Amino acid sequence: MTNPQALPWGLEWAIEPASWQFDGKTAAIDAATSTDAFVDPAGASAVLDAARALAVASSDRWQFSAKVTVDFHATYDAGALLLWSDDRHFAKLCFEYSPQGDAMVVSVVTRDVSDDANSWTVDGDTVWLRISKIADQAYAFHSSGDGMRWNLVRYFALAGSRPVQYGIGVQSPTGDGCAVRFDELKLSETSLADLRDGS
């Protein structure tokens, strides 16, 4: 893309995607072929070349959310919200294409190696995702079908060698790339009062 509008909140590309643009409301991003962010617990080589844009939050408590739409083609194609300290300490909340051909909410927390967990399937190609910082090293992942009522995906701790950044990412580990849209991007400097009440 030629001189695309900068991403909001200081988000900057740590690894550039195949292409991208931001029009002030929607980030449209194309994942490059054979890209992922995963440290296999079985000991296979780490793959850390998925495109990601990251920033440091300016407050101690915050919530970051987006409506994520993925043009699924190949297994593990995904758009994700990210937490990233370093290459062995990161987490991602993904809208991902399963080996069975289902769109799924998937979470990965990496502390030296990756802990991968499938949550539930989604009817369609769009879902809302949210990260909330709860305490110093505590975070929560939520997803929603309508952007109003949120379901808890995961509650966990994350720390690493550098401050934890938040951001967005795209991947296509087994495919030739995929198109991802992030709409309704929102960063709120507010605390989440209850993990499980749907708020």
Q: Is residue 193 part of a domain?
A: no
In whole angstroms, what separates CA 109 from the centre of its chain? 11
Max CA separation in the chain (angstroms): 44
Residue 1: the pLDDT is 42
Q: Is the pLDDT of residue 15 over 80?
A: yes
By residue count, the chain amounts to 199
Quote the pLDDT of residue 58: 86
Q: Does residue 31 contact residue 17 with C-beta atoms inside 8 Å?
A: yes
CA dihedral in degrees (50, 56, 57, 62; nearest 10)?
30
Q: How many domains in the chain?
A: 1
Q: What is the pLDDT of residues 75-89, one digit of tens each?
A: 999 999 999 999 999
Tell whether 195 is covered by a domain: no
Q: CATH number for the domain including 91?
A: 2.60.120.200
Q: Is the pLDDT of residue 143 over 90?
A: yes
Domain assignment of residue 105, yes or no: yes
**Structural domain includes residue 130:** yes
CA distance 168 to 184: 13
**What's the rounded Cα separation, in Å, for the pair 133 and 189?**
10
Task: Evaluate whether residue 36 is within a structural domain.
Answer: yes
- Does residue 68 have a pLDDT over 90? yes
Rounded average pLDDT over 113-142: 97
In a domain, 196, yes or no: no
Q: What is the average pLDDT across 116-138?
A: 97
Is the pLDDT at 45 greater than 90, yes or no?
A: no
Structure confidence at residue 4 as a pLDDT band (50, 70, 90)? low
Q: How confident is the model at residue 3 (pLDDT cuts 50, 70, 90)?
A: very low
The whole domain housing 73 covers: 8-188
Residue 2 located in a structural domain: no
pLDDT at position 147 is 96
pLDDT at 10 exceeding the cut of 70:
yes
pTM for this predicted structure: 0.96
Whole-number mean pLDDT of the chain?
96
The candidate with the shortest Cα–Cα distance to 68, out of 145, 133, 177, 161, is 145
171 against 43, higher pLDDT: 171
Give me the residue label for tokens 């209850």.
Answer: 194
